[in-house]
Structure 1
């Protein structure tokens, strides 16, 4: 897709969390960049410094970098890591010599300039973008948050160059998603910044209608520029549906005196303290009292938190004690299986009989994992607060078991029902369930977004071969 001068349209994508990061929103960023390349865009990504990912938060998936289109240019502007530095040898001269002054300067930058500790990355991004822009013009900027300093960088770059920008809310800045209330007091500077940035944005994108509606109510003057681009599942890192559609049901029916193998329940994703982990664990223990689930396992696949000190806390919430055999898998039915390589994700889903959808937060939350879950056509058990936005996605999925409650007895009953459905599942039922997921395949959900970018930049839709 080229303009009249023969040049491909050029996008600057401000995505702090980009591979090899394994932050919760990285799949959306990775897929967006790849999709734009596929549609003919020249894509430059500004992402976090690698030393921040490896040294500060220790949250990486190196294999994920291999799924990024090689034509994408990835730049990594600098970040002042003041709040993450613990080693005195890493302190700047100012901080070593005048620690109180350094603290005061940093505090002023957060309270008077931009209220986020990633703001230095935003300013560095603007400086780097200006240099690249002077050599080869950008046509549009897409900024995805969090961090929300990326929005500030897009706004400033627009003020300096006039290049239009789009704000992609992977998350909410001024709404606390876990308590359904404003994240800042009324007089906080974040509100002024958000209004300022939205007013100049050519479009604002949200992952679900609930979030779009909340922001539209607070910023009615720009509501007509807001749109929903849901998350989706990525066909390039999951096996194609048709590859497994002809496989027999994973839980063969009992014939004569044959004994059925134990059911496998599975959760795949990063576990966090924001999720109802304890309710899930207790409900599964109760569900195992039913004869159909007596030997069932709930396998936890993925990382325990995003930070180095997270695993111990989460194992305690799960009731798993490495030194106490009575808390092991045989006694509780819960088994932590560790992180999963991207090449093994499809196998984990396919080997499961029932998938457990565990999500934290309230009515504005849509977890990205639910789209992958649906793509495999297994029974899905919901373990989350009633009324979250993910229920809009699951509505119509024929194998959804929702207690609509975090009461452990109600959750246990839905787990038992899902187990029975897994025993009786037919290939036709799985195929029907998969068809519900097709509309959330990532390229399908990103198509309207790419068309919006073309409209903003004045690019025509490329002719089809």
Structure 2
């Protein structure tokens, strides 16, 4: 990389080998910055943190652009350390009281449970990097928001411009729309937005919401959708399955308590009982149970209740996801409620050209993205009958849709290829930094 190229620091907690949902955006952003003419240094946490607390996908590290330098610093997450051999006497005797006290302690310097103490190590590492090789720009991605807190500190102390990739929202719960009750959060967000060079959100509803909150900054607030990565996207399925082959419905993604899995199960049972195209089908669910290394017991219980063709088939490394799509005839987009909820998987789903069943309360933002996709079958609501109807419609479409229809699906999906989302913003940042250097 040309040493004269502008130097950008990208701060992201969830960077490969993290297996969290935000890691794909982080990986793509770092690579896009490198492809867009920046010298890129990523500041993230040690690999061991992911293996210990959230599990990891080591195949993702192979996809980091060779021009990207990755700097890793320690991250300690005591609340998530469940190895009692490392607990002190106080925690062992009163674990709940210890946890509550620790959560309060974490937020003394920065109002974010678990991540607050990481602010000072991030800032110190950023200063050291700037001394070694001056930074022209910092891009910080949330969640966690401490990454943005560090970028803002580097801006106020050293004058380095920064970009806030907020992704979702810090002040608004994207599922139920409630406000974060901590006034410090609102004050910090207002300062971050006011001082940032640009602010990015993952969808238009979030962009519009925050533009309305911060009208003086509205022109620099952008929607940058997650999109799908060409090298990781499924190969499009352009033909129907063999007539004698039972249909396979499939879900790929993290399974969380926010998802209407119970409602889906009731709708699935109804569809099978009604006969027709779903009667002999099966539903396969792939993904981690929850976000952390310890499996979510409540989700395990929900999935164990089914003996009607639904199976949980475990997590899949990202490198193997493409082959999983080849086993599916109809995709299940099971999502939590919320007008700000789009989900990253919707883009990858569309790139497959397969029929898609939406199982979500009406009003979610994924509907805006899927509008116009020829093989989209949204459940009108979460009643068993409505879900069954959507499952049946998608099953018939899987049997009957020809290559012409499926290519129309591909055409709709192409607008959401990730580089089309990131490219304009990376180019704008390069122009802005270059203009500053020549002025």
Please report the TM-score for the alignment, with normalisation by the length of structure 1: 0.87
How far apart are the structure 2 equivalents of 1:408 and 1:101?
A: 44
In structure 2, the partner of 1:197 is 192
Gaps of 5+ in 1: 254-259, 322-326, 461-465
| Deviation (angstroms), 1:429 | 1.0
1:122 equivalent to 2:119? Answer yes
How far apart are the structure 1 equivalents of 2:39 and 2:90?
A: 41
CA deviations 1:94-119 (Å, max 9, x no partner) are: 999xx999987973551464334212
* CA distance 1:340–1:83, change in 2 (3 Å): closer
Task: Find the partner of 1:301 among 281, 286, 299.
Answer: 286
How far apart are the structure 1 equivalents of 2:323 and 2:242?
A: 18
In structure 1, the partner of 2:232 is 237
How far apart are the structure 1 equivalents of 2:191 and 2:219?
A: 16
1:251 equivalent to 2:251? Answer no
CA deviations 1:69-99 (Å, max 9, x no partner) are: 1221111222343333455664699999xx9
Task: Find the partner of 1:181 among 163, 178, 182.
Answer: 178
| Deviation (angstroms), 1:145 | 0.4
How far apart are the structure 1 equivalents of 2:48 and 2:318?
A: 22
How far apart are the structure 2 equivalents of 1:173 and 1:391?
A: 23
CA contact (8 A) 1:115 1:189 kept: no
Gaps of 5+ in 2: none
CA contact (8 A) 1:292 1:420 kept: yes
Bigger-Rg structure (1/2): 1
* CA distance 1:282–1:43, change in 2 (3 Å): same
In structure 2, the partner of 1:262 is 246
Please give the secondary structure, in 2, of the residue aligned with 1:210. helix
CA contact (8 A) 2:260 2:336 kept: yes
How far apart are the structure 1 equivalents of 2:90 and 2:137?
A: 38
What is the CA RMSD across the aligned residues, in angstroms?
2.5
| Deviation (angstroms), 1:203 | 0.8
CA contact (8 A) 1:305 1:311 kept: yes
Task: Find the partner of 1:136 among 122, 125, 133.
Answer: 133
1:82 equivalent to 2:78? Answer yes
1:149 equivalent to 2:156? Answer no
How far apart are the structure 2 equivalents of 1:215 and 1:404?
A: 29
| Deviation (angstroms), 1:271 | 0.8
In structure 1, the partner of 2:316 is 340
In structure 1, the partner of 2:430 is 454
CA contact (8 A) 2:36 2:427 kept: no
Counting matched residue pairs gives: 432
How far apart are the structure 2 equivalents of 1:316 and 1:94?
A: 32
How far apart are the structure 2 equivalents of 1:438 and 1:103?
A: 47
Please give the secondary structure, in 2, of the residue aligned with 1:132. helix
Q: How does 1:302-321 map to 2 (within 5 A)?
A: 302-318=287-303, 320=304
Task: Find the partner of 1:376 among 352, 373, 378.
Answer: 352
CA deviations 1:17-61 (Å, max 9, x no partner) are: 01111111111111111112122221111112223211233x211
Please give the secondary structure, in 2, of the residue aligned with 1:453. helix
How far apart are the structure 1 equivalents of 2:152 and 2:345?
A: 31
| Deviation (angstroms), 1:252 | 3.1
How far apart are the structure 1 equivalents of 2:202 and 2:126?
A: 27
1:163 equivalent to 2:160? Answer yes
Please report the TM-score for the alignment, with normalisation by the length of structure 2: 0.92
